Chain A
Amino acid sequence: MADTLLSIRDLRLEGRAERGWVPILKGVDLDLKRGEVLGLIGESGAGKSTLGLAAMGYVRDGTRFAGGSVTFDGRDLLKLSPRERRRLRGNRIAYVAQSAAASFNPAHRLIDQYSEGPVIHGVMSKAQAEADARELYAKMRLPDPDRIGFRYPHQVSGGQLQRAMTAMAMASRPDLIVFDEPTTALDVTTQIEVLGAIRDIVAEFDTAAIYITHDLAVVAQMADRIKVIRHGEEVEEAPTREMLAAPREDYTRSLWAVREFRADPAPAPAPDEKPVLSVSHVTASYRTGPAVLQDVTFDIHPGRTLAVVGESGSGKSTAARVITGLLPPDGGEIRLGGEVLPPRLADRSREQLRRVQMIYQMADTALNPRQTLREIVGRPARFYRGLRGRDLDRDIRQLLEDVELDPDEFIDRYPGELSGGQKQRVGILRALAARPDVIICDEVTSALDQIVADGILRLLKRLQVEHGLSYMFITHDIATVRAIADHVVVMQNGHVVEQGPKAEMFAPPHAAYTDLLLSSVPEMDPDWLTRRRGEMRA
């Protein structure tokens, strides 16, 4: 085919493991025409980022090409010298990374990073590149495009950085851009703007793109064709509408189905039922700066799940810090089972501490890598419940069985020997080992793939029923709220915007902000983004 830009044939890649090299990509084919957008979808570890980088002839440290070819515009990238490959990167093939905040160099201004590529490749002079940057910043609808480039990355918001990075990738007008989960780290209302800007600029310059994501609804908006990857192999590939309408493979169908999980909602609390935890009129701030919580009030009822929804900066995590005593509030009070909790962690009794436990977003960093599961789970059981010796051992084993981890196999493992989903199960166990009344779950599924996250939600629901637990579920993900919440609190800028039972919250009329949040969640319909942006302009 004359207009084929990129052609990958039987690409095999290996990664270094404890025992020699293990395959990561096991013979993948991929074709891309000029101006075409291919969506690459799969769970983490499926090899989709590796494949995206391989399309640039790039492998990360600890991985290597093991065979096959990557033909870009008639030349096999794997046969080129490192210098020749460098000449193509940032010039004819560009890359947009997942976290713009981490991928911009903190030491340099945005515009200097923009012009670096075109200047070292001799495409433009520094002055030309700077003039060009302003133009592209404007096209990406960045505020104040003439001056924003003279800021440092930390002075610009995440959504703006992601657009600045797309502009930077466009700097040399490449033939191909690899987008590696460019909106995964963004709030939904920001994501919709970035998606729109990316789609427009790719269309305007007729740039071909590989769009990597784990979010089906997002890929449905962006791609002409979708390729599903699993365990380093292709599952299936089809034009977007065809794939959405009629996925052929079971695995693809299971990806579709996970968004369908709905826990049975618990019955609404009786009017005279006492809440297990109540937050009333809480105002809080960090040492320097304005109030981050203003007059926040909500109740958590026994055996129910309260979802606290909001975007980053809305104060939802601060609310958790106030409840746990990490951040004493400036005003208001917190009651646990009717008694007022001392504001400071140090003033709370062990029994009060036991009753409120926490599960964190990043199980990776929340678990001590030098402790075995026996120590991690055993510590709260010993500290709060005084278990010792054989009783303690029996309890730890029982807990591991509770979350479907075989005690004989796992009890002496370290967190490093677990998968992401297994680590989060241990995070749940550690909270459960204290036999708490309330567990605060802070974005516990955000870092997980949809299928794994789905498993965690089901597990949490089952534990709730078995142990009569109450959850405060902090999340920015509306799908998670739909799946698990009984009662919903919507927060924005430290205020509670709206709250009520889930059924009411998802049915109109909404507060304006709730409406914006709900309508910004991507839908599987490929026309959703076009329609939604039309509505927003109207």
Chain B
Amino acid sequence: MSPIVRMILGRLALGLLSLVLVSLVIFMAVELLPGDIAQEVLGQSATPETVAAFRAELGLDQAAPIRYVHWLGGVLTGDLGNSLATGRDIGSMIVDRFGKTLFLAGYAAAISVPLAVTLGILAALYRNSIFDRIVNVATLSSISFPEYFVAYILILLLSINTPVFPSIADFGRDPSLGDMLYRTFLPAMTLVLVVTAHMMRMTRASIINLMAQPYIEMARLKGVGPARVILRHALPNALAPIINVVALNLAYLITGVVIVEVVFVYPGLGQLMVDSVAKRDITVVQGCCLVFAGIYILLNLLADVLSIATNPQLLHRK
């Protein structure tokens, strides 16, 4: 077995183990939520007997460890259980919402990743110039504002003062791609503004870090021009840290969208989770958390693998 395959399998196993640990943490955290669904659904006037009967029906009367094992067993066989509030299958609920979240994250990533890497390379090429400073100040300010603030500013500017884009990102059944892109433009822009700075600054720093290397001086002494020095001699060696920060931000785009989805009333997974917390629909909350955790672990694994695949010293043994 090649060392790379062995490494990937090893990391996957570790990832699964972390996921099990995370499921335990999620379960315990959700247990700590005050109140439960029986009280929430039946209201203030319910008698203790009806509440207890309702709990027994949902299986909530069992001890927490038994419920955890039961839940984990279901998860491992691909069954996330049913919603306590509606009785629907959580798996299918999540698949629908998750698709929407992925669409929004993909939209934002398709803009922000090329933008950030290009700006980072240009800032490194023209470092300490006016251009470099403007890019740095602009990206830094965008990252310094909380995302709901950025979101409301965009709504104010682009859908209230000059009504170009809708402030509610919901679309009906079977919209066209253009319509979807149009309706989710503002939430996507909000995410772009929030994640671009981090990736751009890491790209710039990783490249500049390498500029003092002897092989960069060697390239210059071979008569290589500044753009080629950066693209061909510095960038390939800076890929590992760039890939890692991109993966981190992609994970954030998927798991960190909760606030943006709420602001724009976008029916993604984050929105589902927030609603479920309000309803104390804990099985749904657990399912959402687990999906988010899985995405985080998977993207970080992908970053590790790519870092190795782009490093000849690890790829080609002596």
Are A and B bound to each other? yes
Interface residues of A (CB under 8 A from B): 53, 56, 58, 60-61, 83, 86-91, 94-95, 97, 99, 102-108, 116-117, 120-121, 151-152, 154-155
With A106-B313, A152-B316 in contact, do A58 and B214 touch (Cβ < 8 Å)? no
In Å, the complex CA distance between A56 and B236 comes to 27
In Å, the complex CA distance between A274 and B179 comes to 90
Interface centre among A89, A106, A107, A152 (most CB of B within 10 A): A107
Residue of B whose beta carbon sits closest to that of A118: B222
A114 CB to closest chain B CB, in angstroms?
10
Interface centre among A87, A94, A108 (most CB of B within 10 A): A108
> Is A154's CB under 8 angstroms from B318's CB?
yes
B316 CB to closest chain A CB, in angstroms?
5
B207 CB to closest chain A CB, in angstroms?
13
State the 8 A-B residue pairs at the shortest beta-carbon distance, nearest first: A90-B222, A107-B236, A90-B223, A89-B223, A95-B221, A102-B214, A105-B215, A103-B218
8 cross-chain CB contacts under 8 A? A83-B225, A86-B224, A86-B225, A97-B218, A102-B215, A116-B224, A117-B223, A120-B228
Beyond the given pairs A99-B214, A102-B214, A106-B237, 8 more chain A to chain B contacts, judged by CB atoms under 8 angstroms and listed by A's residue number, are A89-B223, A95-B218, A103-B215, A107-B233, A108-B236, A151-B316, A152-B316, A155-B316
Contact with A along B209-220 (1 / 0, CB 8 A): 000111101111
Check if B312 is an interface residue, CB within 8 A of chain A.
yes
Residue of A whose beta carbon sits closest to that of B237: A107
Chain A neighbourhood of B218, CB < 8 A? 95, 97, 103-105
CB < 8 Å neighbour of B224 from A53, A99, A120: A120
In Å, the complex CA distance between A97 and B313 comes to 21
Contact with A along B232-250 (1 / 0, CB 8 A): 1100110000000000000
Chain B neighbourhood of A152, CB < 8 A? 312-313, 316
B181 CB to closest chain A CB, in angstroms?
37
With A90-B223, A120-B223 in contact, do A97 and B214 touch (Cβ < 8 Å)? yes
> Is B233's CB under 8 angstroms from A105's CB?
yes
> Is A154's CB under 8 angstroms from B312's CB?
yes
> Is A89's CB under 8 angstroms from B236's CB?
no
> Is A58's CB under 8 angstroms from B221's CB?
yes
In Å, the complex CA distance between A107 and B225 comes to 18
Interface residues of B (CB under 8 A from A): 212-215, 217-225, 228, 232-233, 236-237, 312-313, 316-318
> Is B312's CB under 8 angstroms from A102's CB?
no
With A60-B217, A95-B218, A154-B318 in contact, do A106 and B312 touch (Cβ < 8 Å)? yes
Chain B neighbourhood of A61, CB < 8 A? 212
With A105-B237, A108-B236, A154-B312 in contact, do A89 and B215 touch (Cβ < 8 Å)? no
> Is B214's CB under 8 angstroms from A56's CB?
no
CB < 8 Å neighbour of B223 from A53, A91, A102, A108: A91
In Å, the complex CA distance between A194 and B215 comes to 20
Chain A neighbourhood of B237, CB < 8 A? 105-107
Chain B neighbourhood of A89, CB < 8 A? 220-223
Chain B neighbourhood of A90, CB < 8 A? 221-224
B307 CB to closest chain A CB, in angstroms?
13
Chain B neighbourhood of A86, CB < 8 A? 223-225
CB < 8 Å neighbour of A102 from B213, B219, B225, B317: B213
In Å, the complex CA distance between A117 and B220 comes to 10
Residue of B whose beta carbon sits closest to that of A85: B223
Chain B neighbourhood of A88, CB < 8 A? 223
Chain A neighbourhood of B215, CB < 8 A? 102-106
Chain A neighbourhood of B318, CB < 8 A? 154-155
With A60-B217, A99-B214, A104-B218 in contact, do A154 and B313 touch (Cβ < 8 Å)? yes
Residue of A whose beta carbon sits closest to that of B239: A107
In Å, the complex CA distance between A487 and B236 comes to 49
Chain B neighbourhood of A58, CB < 8 A? 220-221
In Å, the complex CA distance between A117 and B221 comes to 10
Chain B neighbourhood of A105, CB < 8 A? 215, 218-219, 233, 236-237
Chain A neighbourhood of B316, CB < 8 A? 151-152, 154-155
Chain B neighbourhood of A103, CB < 8 A? 214-215, 217-218
> Is B214's CB under 8 angstroms from A117's CB?
no
In Å, the complex CA distance between A154 and B315 comes to 11
> Is A87's CB under 8 angstroms from B223's CB?
yes
Chain B neighbourhood of A95, CB < 8 A? 218, 221-222
Chain A neighbourhood of B221, CB < 8 A? 53, 56, 58, 89-90, 94-95
A72 CB to closest chain B CB, in angstroms?
14
Residue of B whose beta carbon sits closest to that of A156: B318
In Å, the complex CA distance between A367 and B80 comes to 57
Chain A neighbourhood of B317, CB < 8 A? 155
Interface centre among B214, B236, B313 (most CB of A within 10 A): B214
Chain B neighbourhood of A83, CB < 8 A? 225
A156 CB to closest chain B CB, in angstroms?
9
Residue of A whose beta carbon sits closest to that of B228: A120
In Å, the complex CA distance between A86 and B229 comes to 12
Chain A neighbourhood of B224, CB < 8 A? 86, 90, 116, 120
> Is A117's CB under 8 angstroms from B312's CB?
no
In Å, the complex CA distance between A86 and B220 comes to 8
Residue of A whose beta carbon sits closest to that of B312: A152
A192 CB to closest chain B CB, in angstroms?
24
In Å, the complex CA distance between A120 and B220 comes to 12
In Å, the complex CA distance between A425 and B277 comes to 66
In Å, the complex CA distance between A58 and B312 comes to 30
In Å, the complex CA distance between A384 and B114 comes to 57
A55 CB to closest chain B CB, in angstroms?
11
Chain B neighbourhood of A120, CB < 8 A? 222-225, 228
With A86-B225, A102-B213 in contact, do A107 and B312 touch (Cβ < 8 Å)? yes
Chain B neighbourhood of A87, CB < 8 A? 223
Residue of B whose beta carbon sits closest to that of A92: B223
In Å, the complex CA distance between A104 and B214 comes to 8
Residue of B whose beta carbon sits closest to that of A165: B218
Interface centre among A105, A116, A121 (most CB of B within 10 A): A105
In Å, the complex CA distance between A190 and B185 comes to 64
Interface centre among B212, B312, B318 (most CB of A within 10 A): B312
> Is A121's CB under 8 angstroms from B217's CB?
no
A502 CB to closest chain B CB, in angstroms?
37
Chain A neighbourhood of B212, CB < 8 A? 61
A461 CB to closest chain B CB, in angstroms?
36
Residue of A whose beta carbon sits closest to that of B215: A105
B148 CB to closest chain A CB, in angstroms?
41
Chain B neighbourhood of A151, CB < 8 A? 316
In Å, the complex CA distance between A90 and B220 comes to 9
